[in-house]
Each structure stands twice: as structure tokens, then as C-alpha cells.
Structure 1
Amino acid sequence: MATIAPPVSNELILTESRTMRAQTIERTEVLDKVKALSMLPDSLHVTTEMAAAYYEVDTQAIHSLVRRNRDELTQNGMRTIQGAELRVFKAETGGQGDHLFNGVRSLRLFTRRAMLNVGQLLTESDVARQVRHYLLNAEQVVRQEIQPHQDVPARHMTPTTFRQVYFSDVPENVFWDHLYREYLLDQRNTRRDALGNLSKDGYRHGHPRAGKGDKYFMLPEDMWVDAHGRPRGRAVVRPDRVRELVEQLIADGLRANPCISWFPSPSRPALTSTEVVDGHVIEFRRGA
């Protein structure tokens, strides 16, 4: 198991604040930094038993967590398959996972994102605590390093974080539609699930488009690669192009936050909102 730095703040903040969990849920690479995560043969899912083994708890702890947080976990990729869908799933594994499915009538599956969500919520696991420490350390680095006049390391500056810092007044769907139209590949719902429905994102969803996309975005060096050698995950902002991308998106017509220091004095100040969790004040900054 990896040795980590001391936590920057109480890791229980993540178990108490759904806002903080949503803010860090994209950092699934943390799972591999804490310990090796075994996946099913499809390289996309783990079972309840595998989740319990990773977090070094019994399966009942995972079942209890699911009962308390079913909606959030489902939103982050957890699902239960049975009947025809389960038979198709078994067939897709080519028999490699038969020992996991013997006598099983239904199967609960966790994506990497759902697995990270488990780690954000699970209080009785030392592994989960280390996952939360990693997440909060990374979040603290972002909060310390994100200044309007500075560039941020690419591994931290995801498009989601970029929007929160520079374009939080732009509705999320408008921001992402613009990126997918001009800068990033849009492969939402282009891959079929076990029942043949187009409900999965393509393998290159969120990767930089040739041209403008490559200019401002890149795939992180530590991106997870699946068993077939395909890089899985999304692009990050090039560290030397943060300011240039802000200026380009303003030229595209998006409205930047008025707190950006290299533009003329703002007509109104930036606002901060705070959330107090377990005695800790969590601050979220956005444009007024």
C-alpha cells in the first residue's frame, strides 16, 4: 500500500459533504495510487465482493453503504444486472469470470467512479481513509495553486475545475456543449451496453480534438489504460496554455468570471460561498 502525506484537513469532510464529493469524483486515478484495484475481465467494473476486498471490509459494510447512499452511487455508475442482461454480461466476459457468477441471479457492479464514491463515504476502512486523504490533498493543491494569473499543473486542471475557476457564471451545459463542439471529442452514448442500447460513452470521449483541442488540452501522463491498451479518461488543460485558453473562450463568446486579475478592473467583486462541515469551513469561489 502506498505511503501518503499527512492529510491537509479532516478527511471526514468528504463523508459529510456531497458538494465536496461531487467536486472530487473525477479523480479516479487515486484508487490506483492507494493500492492495486482488481477489475472484472471487462476492465470496467468490480463486484460487491471485489469492492469489499479493495477496501478491506466485509461485504455487509458495502451492502449497508449501498442502502444508505443508493441514489448517489447509482448516479456515479453503480448498477445491478439480472436476467437477460446478466446472461449477456457473462457471455461478454468469455467465461473468464464464471467463478464469480456461479449461482448468481443478480450482480451488483461498480464502475471506477462508483468505487471512488464508496471510498468517499466508507468510514470503517483504513483504505477508504487513505483515498480521502489523497483526494483532499489534491483539492488543497488546486485551491492553493489556482490563481487567475498563474498556470496550474495539468494533472490538476480538469475542464471541470477550469470552469469553476474561470467560467462559473456560464451554465454547465452551455460550457460543456461549447467544449464538445470546438475542443473535445463528443462520444456520449455512442457505445452499446450489454442489452445493445447506445448508453455508454465512446472510448475516446473527452479527448482533445485535432487542431484547437490539441492546442489547449492534453491527455495526462498518468491516465489509466485498460486491458486492451486504450487510454480511459478525459483531457486536462495544458499547463502552459491556461491563460491563453481563457482568452480564447472569451473570444468565443463565453463570459469569464469578473475576478480574473489580468483583465480590466471588474465592475463587481467575486463572491464566495461557504459550507460548514464537522467544524470545518469549506469555501467555494465564483464570479458575482
Structure 2
Amino acid sequence: MVSIAPQPPISNELVLTESRTMRAQTIERTDALAKVKALAMLPDNLHVTTEMAAAYYEVDTQAIHSLVRRNRDELEQNGMHTLQGAELRAFKVETGGQGDHLFNGARSLRLFTRRALLNVGQLLTESQVARQVREYLLNVEQVVRNDVAPRQLAQAKRLPPKTFRQVYFSDVPEGRFFQHLYTHGYLLDQRYQRKDEFGNLTKHGFRHGHPKAGKGDRLFMLPEVMHVDANGRLRGRAVVRPDRAEELVEQLISEGLRHNPSISRAPGRLALTTSSVVDGHQVEMRRGA
């Protein structure tokens, strides 16, 4: 009988290098970059070059080039792009003044958005900085998971919309997600409807973010505990009704919002699956209604 030596366990942070689903689930957390290390951007404050990406992760540029060759499609989906010709000339003027000294006369220029730069850190195995980025992402993801009961979503805490988005729709930018809730009749939009002490409309209305009558209050509710402000008014923001979470997810998907890859859907059933490492083995954990 031939015995097979057990494989060494995969460290937790390497789950992100192995699982595209987990990368998609944490890709919005671009704040991780600045949390781990000071981040230098181009003058537009939106992009970094290949050289700047290599400097951030403390590797040589060849490591970034190799990573791009292996993962081009995913990186481009997350904002990596290459400028040439007229686009490059215009970009040089916008970010580097009249000369092209900033890019050393480059005839093409690969740029990474923050999201693409984070994607590099999710994939790059030969960088200690990338490892710290992955550890930060997984720690934050664990906090989000702990907001959801481990088995039955119907028994979960009443999720605030921000946490609900992180769990189910993290590919959708937060601003767009809330705008969808406002314009589709879920929550009241009272942004900048109250005047400050100078008479400018800079404050939100007292009922901003409350469930809207009809469609909204069927799926959202006010929290059980609300606080009293300085004027004696009860204040609180909407939370998702725990027994309506599945219905809300299905409805938002039908309205065009892109759900997380971690959501599996079957007739009459919606569940959340996450990938984790247990005793050195990568396993899928399923939660759902």
C-alpha cells in the first residue's frame, strides 16, 4: 500500500490567490492599500503606473509584468488599461505638464486604478506587502461575515444597507447602490434638504434613509432602538427586514444590480457561499434561506 504524504496547509491569506470568488468579494476594499502602506498616486489621484505598482509592493517591475500576462482579463475588468497615441498624449499633458518627463518618453503607458492595484495584491505571492493586504482583506471580510448568522439569514440580525451591500452586492459601488435604493422607491432621499446655521442646504432631512411607504417599508424597517437628537427627535436609519432579505436580493438582481459571485441561486432558494481554509483544506461554507 502506497501512502501519500499530506500536503502542507495553505495559509489563510493565500485563499485570495486561489479563489477568484473571494477576490471578487473583497475587491471593493481599496482602503486596504492605504491601511497597509502609504500609497503614492499619479497627479490625477486615480492611477499608478507599473513602476509605481512595483514600488508599492516592493517587487521588481518584471513581477508585475508576469502577473499581468497571467491575469490580464481579471485585471482589465478591475480597471487596468493601456494608453497609446492621442490618449497618451492627452494624459501626459493633464498629469505631467507640457513635457512628458513624468513618463520618460513612453510610447505606451499601462495604468492601474486603485481597484486594479488591489487586484495585484490579491494575486501577487512574492510580496510581503501583498500578503499584508490580503490579511487585511480577510480580516475585514470576517467582520462582515460575523454580522450574518451562520446558518439562516431569516434569523440574522437586521442588516443595515451598507452591510447588506457588502455581503450581496459588493461589486456595486456604494454610492450607486444607495442611489438605486432612493430612485427605485425603497428609501427616502432627503439629502441636503435642511439649512445649516448659514442658511445653506448642507444637512440631510430628518427622515433621510427611512423606508419609503409601500415598496420600501415592505422590505425595510426602522431599527428597534433609535436615539434622540438634540431637538428631541427620534433618529435612525433603515435596516433590512430579516425575513425579507432573500426577497430583497432577488428584487435588486431583477432590477439590474450585479450580485456577488458568492451568491448561488436555484429555484426557490438563494444562498451565500464562501471559501475558507479549514485544517489545511479549502472548503465552501454555505449559508442561506
TM-score range, shorter chain: 0.5 to 0.7
Change (3 A) 1:215 1:91: farther
Is 1:151–1:239's contact at 8 Å kept on the other side of the alignment? Answer: no
User: Cα RMSD over matched residues?
Assistant: 3.9
SS at match of 2:121: helix
Choose from 239, 249, 252 the match for 1:242: 239
How many angstroms does 1:123 deviate by? 0.1
Is 2:260 the partner of 1:254? no
Choose from 80, 83, 86 the match for 1:84: 86
The corresponding residue for 2:142 is 140
SS at match of 2:44: coil
How many angstroms does 1:239 deviate by? 9.1
Is 2:165 the partner of 1:159? yes
How many angstroms does 1:145 deviate by? 2.1
- Structure showing greater radius of gyration is 2
Q: Distance between the aligned counterparts of 1:284 and 1:163, measured in 2?
A: 17
Deviations 1:95-143 (A, max 9, x none): 1884321220000000000000000000000000000000111111111
Change (3 A) 1:44 1:211: farther
How many angstroms does 1:91 deviate by? 1.4
Choose from 281, 285, 288 the match for 2:287: 285
Q: Distance between the aligned counterparts of 1:53 and 1:248, measured in 2?
A: 43
SS at match of 1:109: strand
Q: TM-score, normalised by structure 2?
A: 0.61
Q: Distance between the aligned counterparts of 1:276 and 1:243, measured in 2?
A: 27
> For residues 23-38 of structure 1, what are the structure 2 equivalents within 5 Å?
23-38=25-40
Is 2:160–2:239's contact at 8 Å kept on the other side of the alignment? Answer: no
Is 1:31–1:131's contact at 8 Å kept on the other side of the alignment? Answer: yes
How many angstroms does 1:153 deviate by? 7.6
How many angstroms does 1:280 deviate by? 2.1
Choose from 59, 67, 70 the match for 2:69: 67
Q: Distance between the aligned counterparts of 2:116 and 2:45, measured in 1?
A: 14
Runs (4 or more) in structure 1 with deviation over 4 Å come to 151-154, 175-178, 209-213, 244-253, 268-278
Is 1:90–1:98's contact at 8 Å kept on the other side of the alignment? Answer: yes
Count of residues in Structure 1 that have an aligned counterpart in Structure 2: 211
Q: Which amino acid aligns with 2:131?
A: R
Choose from 140, 150, 165 the match for 2:157: 150
Q: TM-score, normalised by structure 1?
A: 0.61
The alignment-based identity, stated in percent, is: 62
Choose from 90, 96, 101 the match for 1:99: 101
Is 2:39–2:56's contact at 8 Å kept on the other side of the alignment? Answer: yes
Q: Distance between the aligned counterparts of 2:138 and 2:236, measured in 1?
A: 21
Q: Distance between the aligned counterparts of 1:96 and 1:37, measured in 2?
A: 25
Unaligned runs of 5+ in 2: 1-10, 171-176, 188-203, 212-234, 254-267
Change (3 A) 1:284 1:213: farther
Q: Distance between the aligned counterparts of 2:276 and 2:36, measured in 1?
A: 28
Q: Which amino acid aligns with 1:90?
A: K
Is 2:246–2:270's contact at 8 Å kept on the other side of the alignment? Answer: no
Is 2:57–2:130's contact at 8 Å kept on the other side of the alignment? Answer: yes
Q: Distance between the aligned counterparts of 1:248 and 1:284, measured in 2?
A: 16
Q: Distance between the aligned counterparts of 1:121 and 1:54, measured in 2?
A: 14
Change (3 A) 1:15 1:253: closer
SS at match of 1:11: helix
Q: Distance between the aligned counterparts of 1:38 and 1:21, measured in 2?
A: 23
How many angstroms does 1:286 deviate by? 3.6
Q: Distance between the aligned counterparts of 2:57 and 2:144, measured in 1?
A: 26
